[in-house]
Structure 1
Amino acid sequence: MAFRFYIILLIFSFGTCFSQSQKSNQGLDGIKTNPNVIQTQNDSLLIQKVEDDIIAADFDQKWLEELYSNTLYDTIYNSVSDLSFEEVEYPELSTELLKTRLADLSSKTPFNVEYNPGLESVIKSYLKNRRETLQKLINLSAFYFPMFERALDKNDLPLEIKYLAIVESALKPRAKSRVGATGLWQFMYSTGKMYGLDVSSYVDERSDPIKSTEAAAQYLSKLYEIFGDWDLALAAYNSGPGNVTKAIRRSGGYQNYWNIRHNLPRETAGYLPAFLATMYIFEYAEEHGFTKPRPEVALFETDTIRVKQMITLDQISEATGVEMEELQFLNPSYKLDIIPFVKGENYALRLPKTVMGDFVTNEDHIYDFAKAEFAKREKPMPQFFESDTKTTHRVRSGEFLGIIARKYGVRVSDIKKWNGLRSNNLKIGQRLTIYPRNSGAPSSSSIGKTAATKSVSGSSTTYTVRSGDSLWSISQKFPGVSVQNIKDWNGISGSNLKPGMKLKVSKS
């Protein structure tokens, strides 16, 4: 089923009028237009209608049906629990039960998972004090672990190494330590370069989940080749091989991690216990009351495409309807939310498969839009504005950065920079400094979405979601209603719908 949606994007204004014959063949500034997709009106360039190729979309649908009927998909999703997490008291983990479970775990992995009081203390501390954090990590792991396991298997490494990324970064691809280690696997600049991770003003591949995982697998493989022991390899990964060899010398030649632990740097001394505790809790998650939910985005439900010219994530968001926050999650290596085009480099965009066909079918027009908008903005980007135009916005219930950015015609990345925000999380009542567009006219990100911000007023109805419905198909049932209208009226941030869900829709 072809996924269709309507987007009206104001790209730029200009002072010189073209002749009627010129308008029939090209848009503004010589940009070629397709009358069915891009039209000029009132000296503006509009994306009138974007839709996927019907035949290609039909092929995609057949492939997805084959994928979802696969037993692997059933294994991943059909047996999972609900996403909710409830505070429940569980019986104290006995020492004897822990010893039994650790012995069972040790038989399945090359790591030395042996009981000791220190490890027991770490495990019980995590279970008591970090339940909510651990549940969030279990949720996130459903997206990241498949890509970790693929790289580890490719390099013949123990699959349990996937738990190392939790200890290193708490599965935050843009995590940065006080000494500059960055990404899921916390590579220092020099080590990342050594293993092929590009770092530039626009891109930091240490934050690229797939590329950094491959680099980590190669680095760990080399460390194991040196030390011949996985515990020591992990210690060397954390503190450097030199600190491990010093600890071996100072301990009198011992080569068991637990025998040299007291000679390792303080952080590394707690590193392996944290790794083993994490491994235990994830392997026995259900026994301790944690759930294994379906991820909001699964890796195999996304795809990548090589970009052909510079484009920003919020331009992509405007063209595809994918929320900015989701694009940032899927493309964390682009530091300024800008995907550059550099000769000789292969920079890729990751999108949900549900919109990949729309992007590919219309990419020339989307790039035309991006090119014109870049010309309008006058680089460098992102833009900053005069201080005398700033305003203060107080965050209200239900608001997120994407909504606030559209309201003022600015970009999410701008708001984060102006307010020193490291994440997209906001608190009700939080005050944000905003520099609205001061050109005297709304920006392209706000035009075409003005109608989307209105409240449900006048005559309204309740629509019950049926199997196979999408936000776009529902919007087509109500004249004058857009996808963004429905999302704003119902407080929906993503695009996932469940059969039986009730949606408010205005008829006016």
Structure 2
Amino acid sequence: MRQFDTRSLFRRLCLLACIGTLLSCQTTPENTRDAATVAVAAPNPAAAVTSIGVTAAPINIITPVAAGYDDLWQRMQAGFQLGDDYAQPEVVSRLQSYTGNQRYFDLITERAAPFLYWIVEEIDRRHLPQELALVPIVESTFDPNAYSREHAVGLWQFIGATGKSFGLQQDWWYDARREPQAATIAALNYLQILYDQFDENWMLALAAYNTGDGNLRRAIRNSGQEAAIIDFWSLPLARETHAHVAKILALAKIISDSEAFGVELRRIPNSAALSSVEIGAQINIAQAAELAQIGYAELRALNPGYLQWATHPDHPQTLLLPPENAEALLTGLQTLHQTELPSWDRYQIAAGDTLGGIARRLGTRVDILQTVNQIQGSQIIAGRSLLIPRLDNLGADLSLFSIPSLPLSRRAPMTLPASHRVRRGDNLWSIAKRYDLRSRDIASWNQIELDSILQRGQILDLSFAISETDGGTETPPSASEETYLVRSGDSMARIAARFNTSLEDLLLWNSIDSNHIIYPGQLIQISPLGLSELN
């Protein structure tokens, strides 16, 4: 999603009461990523209480249309409204990409199952076309952590400035662009603005979401068409924008009659898959997983907005879980004392700062700063950051404020063939995932486009990567295929070297700078998450 015209947006936002959380608009170059926000807060002793107030609520069905369907796919199909354009030649040409691609739709279903109900529900609540629920498939292959070359993030692919203008919180602890519910509200707000802006034409609204309203206006002017009768399909827009809209409609056509296109859509129940637990305090996500009796990786996957080892020190402090795990978490939290849930601030060191001065100013102790931030001696460097635990009692036990190291897993040694013969259901992303490569590298070496349709029996040359993996050496420890759990003694430069990537890319993927301090147990992104490249 590209940068939008902030002045035009502001005028329209004044007329839309539904966007009360809009922040001040910004104008930045289209491909300029916002730097990570550094949150500096004084300690808040008043926030420390002796008990934890927790609440849980299922994400319930609220719209009347929901009750008539058992399967979410069927409910979506009933809400499709853009069928007049399904027969457009560009839409028909895109059908081949999806026809019979069972593996792709299985992947989408798996990714979407926890979150799709809420998206469909919100679209119905607003009386919008259900084709809008397919935008995250095209934008990100329904990956909340998708990261594009233009620095767009999340299911709906918001860049930093656009996300902030729609109230999406972005700081060191949390990125709402990755949180499906928050990002969906922002994306639907934006799409409704574009729909009003372009004479209630959904083809134009979807195109503007992809290319930006400024580019679309120029294309309309250059086409010479009258505003009231604009034909989107004949506008002189980038091929990517035409393809973006065509893919959304092609997916809707296939979902409307999946069997005819050789696809079986696995049923997604038309009911809330998750419950929301408001904890009322910051909590270590590993600790929450243990209390909830759920895997750590699964809990992180259901709450992708949290960037660090814990929820936010101030807001949000909510976790989404399956109902049975939410009940277990509630039960476990009732047994905890507030001192078992330490809260943190982050402080950026200024010139002339000392550990003693920082400790006095923020109501903590030098030895706690040293322990938490792994500082030997008293030397600190301006521009770097410190974690500051919020203390109710300066005599607190140091062990309460150590960041626990999480268990590390190891990936099995990889055997990489010189070539790969395409099988039914293969695509560039699945092949890259299988061999721990990057989709764009395979595409570039084989001189094909990232969205190329692979034919069964086609041979892809992988020899370019063999020299990098010869010798059967074990890949460094990792929390997943795309993340790494920091260990004691790690630095960003060492991690970059270990995973054979550039330090610049590693810093970019993690929205941090070279002076940033990392901590044991912190999750570091070690790839740009190529799922979004499939589309």
- 1:291 is aligned to 2:291: no
- 1:371 is aligned to 2:312: no
116, 136, 146: which one aligns with 1:165? 136
Q: Hey, what does 2:332 align to over in structure 1?
A: 362
Larger Rg: 1 or 2?
Answer: 1
In 2 relative to 1, CA 108–360 (structure 1 residues): closer, same or farther, beyond 3 Å? closer
Q: Deviations over 1:148-197 (max 9, x none)?
A: 12221222311221111111111111111111111111112111111111
How many equivalent residue pairs? 320
Q: What SS does the aligned partner of 1:349 have?
A: strand
Q: Hey, what does 1:149 align to over in structure 2?
A: 120
Q: Hey, what does 1:249 align to over in structure 2?
A: 221
- 1:265 is aligned to 2:238: yes
Identity over aligned residues, as a percent?
26
1:52-451 residue pairs with structure 2 within 5 A?
Answer: 75-76=69-70, 109-110=81-82, 112-127=84-99, 130-228=101-199, 229-253=201-225, 255-260=230-235, 263-294=236-267, 300-342=272-314, 345-366=315-336, 368=338, 370-371=340-341, 378-379=372-373, 380=387, 393=410, 395=412, 431-433=475-477
Output the CA distance in 1 between the equivalents of 2:94 and 2:242. 13
In the TM superposition, residue 114 of structure 1 has moved relative to its aligned partner by 4.3
**Does the Cα contact within 8 Å between 1:235 and 1:271 map onto a contact in 2?**
yes
**Does the Cα contact within 8 Å between 2:283 and 2:343 map onto a contact in 1?**
no
In 2 relative to 1, CA 304–287 (structure 1 residues): closer, same or farther, beyond 3 Å? same
1:2-17 residue pairs with structure 2 within 5 A?
Answer: none
Q: Aligned letter for 2:325?
A: V
In the TM superposition, residue 135 of structure 1 has moved relative to its aligned partner by 2.5
Output the CA distance in 2 between the equivalents of 1:201 and 1:335. 7
**Does the Cα contact within 8 Å between 1:111 and 1:231 map onto a contact in 2?**
no
Q: Aligned letter for 2:321?
A: L
In the TM superposition, residue 341 of structure 1 has moved relative to its aligned partner by 2.1
Q: Aligned letter for 1:170?
A: T
**Does the Cα contact within 8 Å between 2:70 and 2:270 map onto a contact in 1?**
no
Q: Deviations over 1:349-394 (max 9, x none)?
A: 1122113233223315446574379989725486789xxxxx9945
Output the CA distance in 2 between the equivalents of 1:106 and 1:234. 20
Q: What SS does the aligned partner of 2:114 have?
A: helix
Output the CA distance in 1 between the equivalents of 2:131 and 2:215. 24
Query: Could you tell me the TM-score, scaled by structure 2's length?
Result: 0.51
Q: Aligned letter for 1:76?
A: D
Runs of 5+ in structure 1 lacking a partner?
Answer: 1-30, 34-55, 81-104, 386-390, 398-418, 422-426, 440-508
Please tell me the root mean square deviation across aligned C-alpha atoms, in Å.
4.6
**Does the Cα contact within 8 Å between 1:311 and 1:339 map onto a contact in 2?**
yes
Query: Could you tell me the TM-score, scaled by structure 1's length?
Result: 0.53
Output the CA distance in 2 between the equivalents of 1:275 and 1:305. 33
Output the CA distance in 2 between the equivalents of 1:115 and 1:78. 24
Q: Deviations over 1:49-104 (max 9, x none)?
A: xxxxxxx99xx9xx99x99xxx9799536999xxxxxxxxxxxxxxxxxxxxxxxx
**Does the Cα contact within 8 Å between 2:289 and 2:299 map onto a contact in 1?**
yes
Q: Deviations over 1:80-134 (max 9, x none)?
A: 9xxxxxxxxxxxxxxxxxxxxxxxx999614642424332221013225x43112
In 2 relative to 1, CA 326–383 (structure 1 residues): closer, same or farther, beyond 3 Å? closer
In 2 relative to 1, CA 221–308 (structure 1 residues): closer, same or farther, beyond 3 Å? same
Q: Aligned letter for 2:179?
A: D
Q: Which has the higher contact order (CA 8 A, sep 6+)?
A: 2
**Does the Cα contact within 8 Å between 2:118 and 2:272 map onto a contact in 1?**
no
Runs of 5+ in structure 2 lacking a partner?
Answer: 1-48, 345-367, 374-386, 388-401, 415-435, 439-468, 479-484, 490-535
**Does the Cα contact within 8 Å between 2:274 and 2:320 map onto a contact in 1?**
yes
